[in-house]
A and B are shown apart, each in its own frame.
Chain A
Amino acid sequence: MFYIYCPHCGEHREEEEFHAKGQAHIARPADPDSCSDKEWGEYLFFRKNPRGLHHEMWVHATGCRKFFNVTRDTVTYEIKEVYKIGERPSVVAAGN
């Protein structure tokens, strides 16, 4: 049970209030129609599964209904950073 800081409500809330929405920063291709099947497949289906830092999107479903990003260590489950949609993470894995 995580304790997640909502950057919009400005405080920590119980995990029950949130929905996890998977990997963050998956931008929809600007021109889907010109994507090859392979490129579109990458966008649709392929996701990272890192051991360590992972950037994830969450939504404060039972709260302000806003989406935001979380940088979480998938080994320790520590949340290293929370940032709004459109912002870039300051905590990133080495080599990223």
Chain B
Amino acid sequence: MSEMIAPEKVAANADAIQEVARMDQLAGPAQRAESPLHHADLDTIAKKGPKNGGVTLQEHKLLGHLVIRGSQDNQAFLAGAREALGFDLPTEPLSSVEQGDRSVRWIAPDEWLLIVPGEDAFQVEEQLRAAMGGHFAIVNVSGGQTVLELSGPDVRMVLKKSTPYDVHDRNFPVGKVVTSVFAKTQAVIRRTGEDRWELVIRRSFADYVWLWLQDASAEFGLVVKA
């Protein structure tokens, strides 16, 4: 992967790179990868299920999920993130930035969740490691969670059934992101559009969330999108 990294960067951070284990976790196309909701066979439901309803669900599966940890006091960290990503990590609490196929969510003052196309995960991780300095951590969690997109006029009602967080326009504008209770589990909830919301959920809870969402949206009609 050295050709992806500018040579001077490698030199500057050569030690740092040696100090953590790096691993491209992606296999080739011959190795079947299954998202956390693979067993639900959403593609078939999308084909055979209802086409109209108040809530539309789509799993954005097998994306690259990177947890980025670092201090906002560490300029080498922030500057490195900007250099590698092409934009700043959002330091305003509960905010997010989306550019092209990359989006990053504020999770905590020293934690962000970056989501990129699945095949880019390792390259982006390496670029970040090369560009960032000082104390920081990057963890690939692509296999441990998945993204669900909910859209439609009745999504807000489904959210009101599911989370005690205030999802009203005045409190939850587009772009805001919160980690909160979702049914009996938790989710990173981001508003991505007027009627569009994104949930990031953990793999082992995915089936529970899927059951919950089917139930909560039943009265509005649930459409599954492939």
A residues at B contact (CB < 8 Å): 8-11, 13-14, 16-17, 62-66
Compute how far the CA of A66 lies from the CA of B179 in the bound complex, rounded to whole angstroms. 12
B121-165 interface code vs A (CB 8 A; 1 in, 0 out): 000000000000000000000000000000000000000000011
A9 touches B93 (CB 8 A): yes
B94 touches A11 (CB 8 A): yes
Compute how far the CA of A66 lies from the CA of B107 in the bound complex, rounded to whole angstroms. 11
B181 touches A17 (CB 8 A): yes
Q: Specify which of A10, A11, A63 is in contact with B179 (CB 8 Å cutoff).
A: A63
Judged by a CB distance under 8 angstroms, whether B223 is at the interface is no
Closest to B92 in A: A10
Chain A residues in 8 Å Cβ range of B164: 14, 16-17
B111 touches A62 (CB 8 A): no
Chain B residues in 8 Å Cβ range of A11: 93-94
Chain B residues in 8 Å Cβ range of A9: 93-94, 178
CB distance from B52 to the nearest CB of A (A): 34
B170-205 interface code vs A (CB 8 A; 1 in, 0 out): 000000001111000010000000000000000000
B108 touches A65 (CB 8 A): yes
Q: Specify which of A13, A14, A17, A64 is in contact with B109 (CB 8 Å cutoff).
A: A64
Compute how far the CA of A64 lies from the CA of B165 in the bound complex, rounded to whole angstroms. 14
Chain B residues in 8 Å Cβ range of A17: 164, 180-181
Q: Specify which of A13, A16, A62, A66 is in contact with B108 (CB 8 Å cutoff).
A: A66
Compute how far the CA of A88 lies from the CA of B56 in the bound complex, rounded to whole angstroms. 48
CB distance from B138 to the nearest CB of A (A): 17
A10 touches B180 (CB 8 A): no
Compute how far the CA of A11 lies from the CA of B176 in the bound complex, rounded to whole angstroms. 13
A-B contact pairs, 8 of them (CB 8 A): A9-B94, A11-B94, A14-B164, A14-B181, A16-B164, A63-B180, A64-B109, A64-B179
